[in-house]
Structures are given as structure tokens and as C-alpha cells.
Amino acid sequence: MLSYLKTTSHHHDFQKLTALFDEFLIDIDGDEKDFFAQYNQIYIDNVIVCYENDIAVGCGAFKKSDTQVAEIKRMFVPIEHRGKGIAFKILSELEVWARELNHTSCILETSFKLEQAIDLYKKSGYRFISNYEPYIGVESSVCMQKVLK
């Protein structure tokens, strides 16, 4: 059974998972890793850590982009826990939380190389948009948006 903890980016399980995510992204981001790292090492108030049998199996977060838009950040499920719908459930929980805080849409940035992530976002109702700051002109970036209902 899955359970969810709403917390901040200071939580130790979130920090462990995002450290694993950063290692995973080194191969994905290549020469651009330092550019992306500066946007990932930020404090975030709205974090969800997902647990299965008291083991942290995934995480995600959002930060306020503006008064009505939440930016999805740091979505990650370790490889050994993928294929169980965990990322979909975390994303859904983040959207509910964002809605509760009066956000009307969510945006996100990911790498075009992360095809599974893009598939997840498309299945969750996200649509491609023009790259937003600071990703304008970054060829490896894909930006997406979902209007929250």
C-alpha cells in the first residue's frame, strides 16, 4: 500500500531520492548538467514523498511559478520501483495540492531524452508548450502545461 507525506525539500527521504535523481541525470544532461543543477538545488515548500511499506519509493514537488501557476519539479521514482504507477500517483497528488492552493495550472520542464516521463505527462493531460524561462533556447528541454480543473 502506498502512502504520501507532504513535506519540504529539507526532508531526508526527499534529499536521498533527489541525490539518486541527480546521479541519474548526469548521463541524461551531459555537458548541460551544471546549467540544470542550478535550478534543482533550490528550497521547495511543496514536496511529496511516496512510501511503500515505509520505504521511500518516489518523490515530486512543485514551486510557485506565479500566483496561479505551479511548476512541477524533482519527479523521480528509482528504477527498481518503476512500472507500478507510482509517478502517476505522485503527480496526481501534487496537482490536487496545487489546486488546493488556488493554482489553475501546472507547468514543467523535462529532457526530450526522458521518453517515459514525457509519456507519463501526456497521459496525465499535459500538453507541449513553448519553453519558458530559463529554458528558452535550451534544445534538450521540453516544456509542458496542464490546466487544473
Question: What fold characterizes domain 2-106?
Answer: Aminopeptidase (3.40.630)
Residue 144 and residue 107 in contact, taking contact as beta carbons nearer than 8 Å: yes
C-alpha angle 8/55/75, rounded to 5°? 50
Residue pLDDT, tens place only, 54-79:
999 999 999 988 889 999 999 999 99
Residue pLDDT, tens place only, 89-133:
999 999 999 999 999 999 999 999 899 999 999 999 999 999 999
